[in-house]
Amino acid sequence: MRRRAASVIPALRFRARKTRDDLVEEVKKLEKQRDGGSAQQPGKAWTVEKWLQHWVENIAKPTVSENTYDGYEVAVRVHLVPGVGKHRLDRLQPEHLESLYRRMQANGERKAGTAHQANRTARTAPGEAVRRGYAAKNAAALAKPPRMEEDESEVEPYSVEEVQCLLLEANKRRNSARWMLALALGLRQGETLGLRWSDVDLRNEYLKLRRNRLRPRYKHGCPEASQCGRKAGYCPAKVQVRRETKNTKSRAGRRAVPLPGPLVAMLRAHAETQERERKRAGDLWTESDYVFTKPLGGPLSPNTDYHDWKRLLEDAGVRNARLHDARHTAATVLMLLGVPDRVIDQIMGWEPGTSASMRARYLHVPDAMLKDVARKIAEAIWGTPETPAVDKNQDNEV
């Protein structure tokens, strides 16, 4: 029986069991793995740590976007390797990962979203190992990630009144049109900061979204990091090692967006203001063609933009929320205006295959709309309520 097992599954060499029936059952299982393409390949077994490090640098990095790679790299280095890295890859169990997720959330140290990011990375990396035959199963695909609490994922879009307060305050600042693009059209931060004048057609009142601004990454420009004693981003001679923008990879992301008349006027005024800044700066101006720039030209930093948003909320007296919540606001306004779903999908840049789920996530039904629906239901079933008669004698009483 040992020879049979070896000939059928040569990569697994041989198997020994106490009884013939047990051995036959083991061989059948191995044959099933072989026929299904999940039989483990021969060679030294990978540890989870070694495989994750190999996968993130040599498999993921050359094929995914910089932002996706950053998420993978942090999940691997900060969470997965310290948590389950010592296990053999082919012996990793769902319970090992579920225990890690619980530890990440213990005492409120990690939110469920962080554990979900770790779980997404864990599912992807061992999945590639299974495909290559280094493990028979993907334990992460079987592990149950922590449940997302409703209050962590719930988003409340800004009301029309709050949007108006924000726009009144934004009009006092540089790049005021930047916030209108977010609140009125729902443009993502990267899309807005990556926008160039060559993408804007004010005469025909639309703009084209074709690229995203990336978060900058730097390395030390001094001979040795210890000479300046600062992080790379604060080194006086820092060198940027990441490109400024990347082209939008999805077809839905590459889209034309209509510009409302008031926003066209704001962008015209913004172009004139930028030209005056260019003349005042003279040789100090950094030419870039970006719509929204620093006072001396050059692209805005996403980090600076984020802090500008927080200051805008505070100065406008509007509740604190994420910059991305403005995107939820814009999508909800489009729904309230009765814009067809297909048009909403294009403006927001949602893929056809995911548009229904994205609408469910981004379109929020206000209380006023629910009350209006309740009124219509009442009228349809019970009829229009009669107006109570007014007692004229009572009106004359003092």
Mark whether 87 is an active-site residue. Answer: no
188 is catalytic: yes
From the candidates 101, 290, 309, 350, give the one annotated as an active-site residue.
Answer: 350
Four-residue CA torsion sign, 102, 105, 108, 111: negative
Nearest 5°: the CA angle 23, 24, 30 is 90
Name residues whose C-beta falls within 8 Å of residue 69's C-beta, 6 or more positions apart in sequence. Answer: 56, 60, 61
Alpha-carbon span 54 to 47, nearest angstrom: 11
User: Which of 79, 110, 255, 327 is flagged as catalytic?
Assistant: 327
Q: Active-site residue among 324, 371, 375, 376?
A: 324
Q: Which of 188, 255, 270, 328 is catalytic?
A: 188
Active site residue 102: no
3-state percent helix, strand, coil for the chain, nearest multiple of 5 = 55, 5, 35
Q: How far apart are CA 121 and CA 108, in angstroms?
A: 21
- In angstroms, rounded to a whole number, what is the distance separating the alpha carbons of residues 151 and 213? 30
Is residue 179 among the annotated active site residues? no
Which residue in 194, 169, 168 sits closest to 308, CA to CA? 169
Cβ atoms 216, 190 nearer than 8 A: no
Q: Are 193 and 300 contacting, i.e. CB atoms less than 8 angstroms apart?
A: yes
Residue 362 appears among annotated catalytic residues = yes
Q: Residues 91, 219, 268, 371: which is the catalytic one? A: 219
Tell me which residues are annotated as active site.
Answer: 188, 219, 324, 327, 350, 362
